[in-house]
Structure 1
Amino acid sequence: MEFHKILIAIDNCKSAEVVALNGLQIAQQYHAEIALVSIIDPEANWGGEQPTPREMDDMIDGNFNTSQQNVIDKVFKNYPVKTFIEQGKPYEIILKIADEWGADVIVMGTHGRKGLSHLLIGSVAEEVIRHTKKTLVVIPVSESNEA
């Protein structure tokens, strides 16, 4: 099996480096192109008031752009990486970017929550699994990997 394009979905957490490193290892093995995608979910629980559209744009330009650049600097160094930062439901955006960019593989992390927290939070990885025919590599990340 040949892989030419690998899409790595990362969030704004410390575990993003673990996920990115796994994606890089696959890309190096196949000499594949890499793209990173980060998603801002406007429907997420923000612990208070929902951000305004302007605040969402600021997050894209600020925190998420900086977070992606930090991962690129730490993990990819001289390996060329395309980046996407989008707003929407995370699993839908991952699938959309994977299709539009022509990814052969999607690499993403999962917190592996079980029980009630899984039911309440839902799982982006589970939704991607249900809705894609692409090869999917799911990297378990623990709470200790979180910032």
Structure 2
Amino acid sequence: MNEIKKVLIAIDNEPSSEKVALHGFQLGSRLNAEIALISVIDTTMIMTEGSVTPMEFAETMKNECKKNQQLLVDHVFKDYKVWTFVEEGKPHEVILNMAQEWEADIIVLGTHGRKGISHLLLGSVAEKVLRHAEKPLFIIPTKS
């Protein structure tokens, strides 16, 4: 097994992101690994009404992700150096592409544990990453 030197932590803007980030940080810091946070704006799902364009909405979402990441960096990671990425696209594809580009050794992400119609409608980013990943995954259940 290869040594884990880089940990990529995928988060969204849900309250459960802190739990995922904390588990990822614990793993990365114990291994003295580099750590990166990635948030993805799903541009395939953006629909807007009124005077807000999809591009403006995406920009607003990017800013929210950046704020969320900064709060996590300040609260969870404190003095630990953390890379941050906010990207656009299909979340599972972007996460997998970033893992390749950044040369992550493991991907940490959460799963909401949705079932039934909500799973069918929303899909599962974790499930799609799992099906297509070429890297090890550390999946954190975030269901309360």
- Judge conservation of contact 2:106–2:137 (CA < 8 Å) in 1: yes
Amino-acid identity (%): 52
Q: 5+ residue gaps in structure 1?
A: none
Q: What is aligned with 2:139?
A: 138
**Which of 43, 47, 57 matches 2:59?**
57
Q: By how many angstroms is 1:43 displaced? A: 2.0
Q: Deviations over 1:11-56 (max 9, x none)?
A: 011111100000011111211000000011112265x538421331
Q: How does 1:49-88 map to 2 (within 5 A)?
A: 49=49, 51-60=53-62, 62-88=63-89
Q: 5+ residue gaps in structure 2?
A: none
- Judge conservation of contact 1:42–1:51 (CA < 8 Å) in 2: no
Q: Structure 1: which 4+ aligned runs deviate by more than 6 Å? A: none
Deviates more, 1:37-46 or 1:128-137: 37-46
* Residues paired across the two proteins, number: 141
Change (3 A) 1:120 1:54: closer
Q: RMSD in angstroms over aligned alpha carbons?
A: 1.6
Q: What is aligned with 2:18?
A: 17
Q: What is aligned with 2:28?
A: 27
Cα separation, 2, equivalents of 1:117 and 1:107: 23
The alignment partner of 1:73 has SS state of helix
- Judge conservation of contact 2:20–2:110 (CA < 8 Å) in 1: yes
Cα separation, 1, equivalents of 2:134 and 2:16: 25
Letter in 1 for 2:105: D
Q: By how many angstroms is 1:118 displaced? A: 1.2
* TM-score, length-scaled by structure 1: 0.89
Q: How does 1:85-104 map to 2 (within 5 A)?
A: 85-104=86-105
The alignment partner of 2:44 has SS state of coil
Cα separation, 2, equivalents of 1:7 and 1:23: 8
